[in-house]
Structure 1
Amino acid sequence: MKKLRFGLWYRYALCLMVLFVSVIYGAHSGFAQTAGNSMDAVLVVDVSNSMTQSDKNKVSNEAMKMFVDMTSIQANKIGVISYTDKIEREKALIQVNSEEDKNDIKAFIDSLQKGAYTDISVGVTEAVKILDAGRDPANAPIIVLLADGNNYLNKASGRTQAQSDQDLQKAVKEAKDKGYPIYTIGLNADGQLNRTTLQQIASETNGKFFETSTADRLPQILSEIFANHLKLKVVPVKSFTANGQAQEVPISIPNASVLEANISIMSPKAVEVKLFDPAGKPVAIPSDQVRLSKSSAYTMVKLVKPQQGDWKLQVKGAPKEKIDINLIFNYDLQLEAEPLQATSFKAGDVVPIKAALVSNGQPITSPDLYKQMKATLIVEDKTDNKTSEVALNNTGSGFAGSFTIPADHAYELKIKAEDTSFYRETKPLVVDASQTAGAGTTKPQQPTTTAPGEQSKPFPWLTVVGGAVLLTLLIGAGLYALALWRKANKGFIGQIAIEIVDEDTGDKSNPQYKKLSAFKGKVKLHQLLQLAPEFAETEKVIFLPGRNDTLIIENRSTCRIEKAGRVLDVSRGKELKKNDRIKISLTNVNKSVYVDYIV
């Protein structure tokens, strides 16, 4: 057992002591929430056998990979769930910090396998849990569900459609209450799509429903999801029929605040692309400023912090093949309103309104950015439940106007600014004129007086210091006990895939996916092998949760453990990182157990 380091223990104790004294003597602290353009996205896909027909072209795989490619490498998190009537495989939310992270997620998507039955409630319920467990409060949460909307329950399990419906309704309500919009993409290659279920899931969680049977609609669908969720707009580019020669497509970067420009090129056959910057110079694809992603259905060119101006893209496709090109921008911009000066309101008051675009908390002063923008004040009368709009003036560095309070009602004001490529909204401003006259006034505070004969008492330093010392000792004991408890109850991250190979015959079992979240503190390999008697020696092969989403394996048995062909000494523990694969050779039977750690 490792003891808590003294420095860490001291800082905990000091913080808690300060909090204790602050509470006693009335100190207050405030917390601010931030909001940005990043997202925490969970991609949920039905992998039941029925999808072989409703998704025979594997549109779901292409959709998920395109979603990953469109996401910017800036504080976003992505998780993946595949389900049948149970969770088949799962990748918890991971930070996307590099192209390697994206490739890892896309490889995971390509490795998903089919199962026999379907229960849509299982996938939606798990998606909510993943967001609960791993989302960043500063990011915008989103669930994208790809399915045909149909259930096919295992009769032998005893589960009924009514039970599934009840669980789905519960999960959808949780998603709605927690602000998790669910965007549903209905896959309908066989014409058996259950639109009603998918439409209800989307509408009840403030998401959107889409339908497709082919991959050519994916850029438009995913662009709309991005646009709706991150307040962007799809910029029409060009559609044409390829002639076997390089055809030029203009790409206009409207301003210097574009973080990324995503150019998706859809073609049934491979295309060749070349790129030229606004000065006409060729730009290497790929390079530090240009990312290239390809799949069987699309080519994605991503310009990172592109120069403002008119770029040129040359696309060479197979003769007579239709090519569709879509463009969507990722912006690092927010719209912020100036705080209201007044604190009390009444009918007839004129409320000044001002707002401006900011990036990383700093105002944007670029006239080019504001040139084509329009702003509107959206007024929601909370008393009458009516909404109206008031046009605002573009000052070249922001937006300004005023709102005249028409009646003694409560109002919520939001400012919306938009151009051809994006729009932004401010957080609501509250104008409450519903109080009766004088209700907002306060009585003057009477000066406090000391009763005759009462003397001011000295500050009780001895009591405070003695209490602080006692509190520190109690905190130390509590932290030590907490450390013991936390180690015994620490949760696992991810899951492991287990394959068993008969070394005599070479036969290999199908992968068994074991979710580690069901265990606390430690789990024995024998437990994961369902306590089968022939594998009794794995009772002493133990897994422990490690730091930073790792897994620790300890071997106290006679089994031999190898990684990449090298024998490991894990008697004192060995760290396994995501996608690590180890081989455990048994001694009592001529079999080997392969373990893959999946985060």
Structure 2
Amino acid sequence: MVWCLLLCQPVLATAQALNNQDLERFNVMLVIDGSGSLVYGDNATDANGLRYDALDLFLALLTNSGNNVGAIVFDNDPQNYLLNTGLQSITGKSDKISLSDQIRQAGTRDDTDIGSALLTAVETLNAQSAQNGMESVIILFSDGRTDLGGDQEAYEASLENKETAITTAQTAGIPVYSICLNATSVADPAELQEISSRTSGSFVAVSSPEDLTGAFEAFYNLIFSTSSSERVTSSFPSSGKLTFNIDVPTYGAEEVNIILDTDGAGQAQLTAPSGPMSAADMEDSTMTGGDFNIIKLVDPEVGRWTLELSGVPQDNVTINVIYNIDTSAVLATADGGSDYGAGDTVTLQAALYQNGVPITDSTVTSEYTAELTFTNMADNSTQTVEMNAGPNGSFTYDFQENDFNSYSVQVVFRYSNMSIPSNTIPVNFGNTAPVVASDQQLVEESVIVTPVTGRERTFDLSNYFSDAQGDPITYSVASSQLVDGSVTLNGSNLTVNTAKSRSGDLVLRGTDPQGAYSEMTIRFQVTNLTPAIFSVIVAALVAVIVIVSIIVYKKTHIPFRGSITVTSATSMSGSGRSHANFKGKIKLLYFAIGSCGMDAKKCWFVAQPGNRLEFRSPVPVYWNGMPTKKVNLLNGSTEIYADENRTLGIRVTVKFDYNIRK
């Protein structure tokens, strides 16, 4: 008999923000491929159902309470998923087993519609997060590409749903962690990898079903606040008994998960500092995930626990301990600054926090050590020192630097095999990081991509970043939610192929020669119009233009039937001219009356509906002694003057054709 354990190295989760009162609680949707390719044919990717064992491991590691978990098992029918539980509060072993049973019983069926299932999951999480304020994540498991059996309409709808899901997840901050079983030619890792990349999640392709347990453990460590000890492998001696010690600190470990292989007849017994656990308590605390038993200790007794294993001499056993952490480590400078002069001394302070409040119990400094690591940002060289125990459970360290350097600094609290990393802070000596103006730290770009426009955006990053010392700035892409291959950066010149990039955040970093940096984000909202849609829109615009043109034409070409004669109202020269039957409007200039005090180029006679006629002037004229810019002309003569004293003006004689008017 051989004892073995997980297939990937433990991953330490990054410390989360202090204002998160439930550091390791999440809304989680498990989106699981239920297509037939997993179980049918020679290329079946998981005929033995090892994905269920891996999911059991993930559920077993979840904190005993506080998480909301749901599952979607999908094939090619977005209206009738094989399973859609919605989100539900998961508390205790029975809830976890119940959800696991539902997933297993959902089975498998036809083809693969990833987009619709992903969109349903995102919408479910978005609604739940709005209610409980908790962060949300998706774990997507699939063995292959979107495949809808040749139904092109359904395929395009699925791709549209996928794009909507990705952009909604980006806006809501919902990362997608994807697992692709890349064991056969059926699989297509690229599609899942793009989903995770564009939502700031993670992706892993596993080459055999057995690797799934390791993938799920890795994602668990990435998502939740955890600490993992190094795996320990030993051989059973001739006595068939092995003993391991597990230490629990006063603060930090809300739960302890002990993962063991169950292959064979081995037995496990745990003894707390106060005495051994009963058989009933061991049973209540243990869940099975494939070949593994996971023993969960909730609010474990502080001190040293003993794990005794029974097995066959010479067989190997590997154990792994994962602590679910309920504290965070916080590092800061004593004065809250980050920029100092060369030769200055900076005091660094570190403490453990629970629910946003520092733990002031001196037990912390008696149980934990605090290792402080300085990373020179220019060459990435590091130096690690141990901080000194300070007052009220805190740690301190005084650091002096005589050269012009910038450092990235982090502390790790260690207790036995448990570690809690802090936030990372910059400390600059004789240097300040490049800066980005506050109104340019987030640049929003709305782009409509058509077959002829909006296919590229360019930026000169030197217009956004500046350095107080005048040092040259090197530019790089810190992170990207855009499609791979859509971003080109040459010096300070950034080019984004928006036709390919789709929506997402692009984070750009400006770094000085000492390695200090600042970042800006360009947020792209990209709407892609396909040639078909573009053609429809163009046709609609043409139709609108035609209709508007007809309306404008009719309004500007109203017919006047009759005659109009214009002469001077103040001169006896008799100059003037007549005109009959016209459409639209005619200038006063046409009537050649000479000086009349009005701008003959800008005054008009305008036909109106119903065979009426108006005189219009850009400036007020006088009619019946009143100033006006518009005169309604009646049958007969009308005098219009340029000034109130009636020194200059025109006489307009109109004869309407009343037969036409009727």
Give the structure-2-normalised TM-score. Answer: 0.51
Give the whole-Å Cα distance in 1 for the aligned partners of 2:312 and 2:105: 30
- Number of the residue aligned with 1:425: 422
Whole-angstrom distance in 1 between the partners of 2:370 and 2:103 = 39
1:196 is the counterpart of 2:190: yes
SS of the aligned residue for 2:229 comes to strand
Matching residue's letter, 1:400:
T
Provide the C-alpha distance between the structure 1 equivalents of 2:151 and 2:38, rounded to a whole number of angstroms.
Answer: 21
- 1:103 Cα deviation from its structure 2 partner: 2.6
Give per-residue Cα distances to partners, 1:434-469, cap 9 Å, x unaligned.
799xxxxxxxxxxxxxxxxxxxxxxxxxxxxxxxxx
TM-superposed CA distance for 1:35, in Å, is: 5.6
SS at the partner of 1:373? Answer: strand
CA distance in 2 between partners of 1:178 and 1:379 (Å):
35
Cα offset for 1:50?
0.7
Matching residue of 2:25: 38
AA aligned to 2:223 is H
Residue 54 of structure 1 aligns to a residue in which SS? coil
In structure 2, the partner of 1:561 is none
Q: Which digits, 9 at most, give the CA deviation of each residue in 1:20-77, with x for residues without a partner?
A: xxxxxxxxxxx96646222222211101101111111212211212111111124222
**SS in structure 2 at match of 1:315:** strand
Q: Is the 8 A contact 2:329 2:420 kept in 1?
A: no
Describe the superposition over 1:493-533 as per-residue Cα deviations: whole angstroms up to 9, x where unpaired: xxxxxxxxxxxxxxxxxxxxxxxxxxxxxxxxxxxxxxxxx
Tell me which residue corresponds to 1:394: 387
Q: Distance in 2 between matches of 1:243 and 1:403?
A: 49
State how 1:287-306 maps to structure 2 within 5 Å: 287=281, 291-306=285-300
- Contact 2:54 2:289 survives alignment (8 Å): no
Does the CA-based 8 Å contact 2:55-2:216 persist in structure 1?
A: no
* Equivalent-residue separation in structure 1 for 2:134 and 2:422 (angstroms): 16
Instruction: Give deviations 1:327-382, integer Å, cap 9, x for gaps.
Output: 2111211123458746897866866432200224241532466534313467989x
Distance, in Å, in 1 between the alignment partners of 2:54 and 2:153 is 34
**Pair 1:106-2:82 in alignment:** no
2:145 pairs, out of 142, 147, 150, with: 150
Distance 1:299 1:38 in 2: 23
8 Å contact from structure 1 (residues 352, 403) kept in 2: yes
Measured in 1, the distance between the counterparts of 2:34 and 2:312 equals: 33
1:95-494 equivalence runs, <5 A = 95-135=89-129, 139-156=134-151, 158-160=153-155, 164-165=158-159, 167-190=161-184, 192-212=186-206, 217-239=211-233, 246-257=240-251, 258-269=253-264, 271-278=266-273, 281-287=275-281, 291-316=285-310, 323-337=317-331, 341=335, 352-360=347-355, 361-363=357-359, 364-367=361-364, 371-376=368-373, 394-396=387-389, 397-401=393-397, 415-419=410-414, 420-426=417-423
Conserved in 2, the CA contact under 8 Å of 1:223 and 1:234?
no
Out of 55, 59, 67, the position equivalent to 2:58 is 67
For residue 64 of structure 1, what is the amino acid of its counterpart? Answer: L
What's the offset of the Cα at 1:282? 2.9
Question: Does the CA contact (< 8 Å) of 1:346 and 1:408 recur in 2?
Answer: no
Change (3 A) 1:430 1:206: farther
Equivalents in 1 of 2:371, 2:340: separation in Å?
A: 29
Give, in whole Å, the separation in 2 of the partners of 1:335 and 1:289. Answer: 34
| Letter of the 2:419 counterpart | F
Q: Contact (CA 8 Å) 1:236, 1:326: kept in 2 or not?
A: yes
Q: Please, which runs of 5 or more residues in structure 2 have no aligned partner?
A: 1-17, 436-662
Cα distance in 2 for residues equivalent to 1:380 and 1:211: 32
C-alpha separation in 2, matches of 1:359 and 1:310: 23
The answer to whether the 8 A contact 2:368-2:413 is kept is: no
Shift of 1:314: 3.2
**Identity rate, percent:** 20
1:428 Cα deviation from its structure 2 partner: 6.6
CA distance in 1, matches of 2:263, 2:105: 22
Q: Distance in 2 between the 1:71 and 1:230 partners?
A: 9
For residues 60 and 165 of structure 1, what CA distance do their matches in structure 2 show? 25
Gaps of 5+ in 1: 1-30, 437-599
Partners of 2:363 and 2:421 in 1: CA distance: 17
Question: Equivalent residue for 2:71?
Answer: 80
Q: Aligned letter for 1:99?
A: K
Q: TM-score, normalised by structure 1?
A: 0.56
Mapped to 1, the partners of 2:401 and 2:113 lie a distance apart of 52
SS at match of 2:260: strand
Name the SS for the 1:275 alignment partner. strand
Structure 2: which amino acid aligns with 1:205? T
Q: Distance in 2 between matches of 1:368 and 1:430?
A: 24
Distance in 2, Cα, partners of 1:300 & 1:342 = 43
Q: What's the Cα RMSD here?
A: 4.3
The code of the aligned residue for 1:56 comes to A
Between Structure 1 and Structure 2, which shows a larger proportion of strand residues? 2
Q: Does the aligned pair in 2 maintain the 1:43–1:143 contact within 8 Å? A: yes
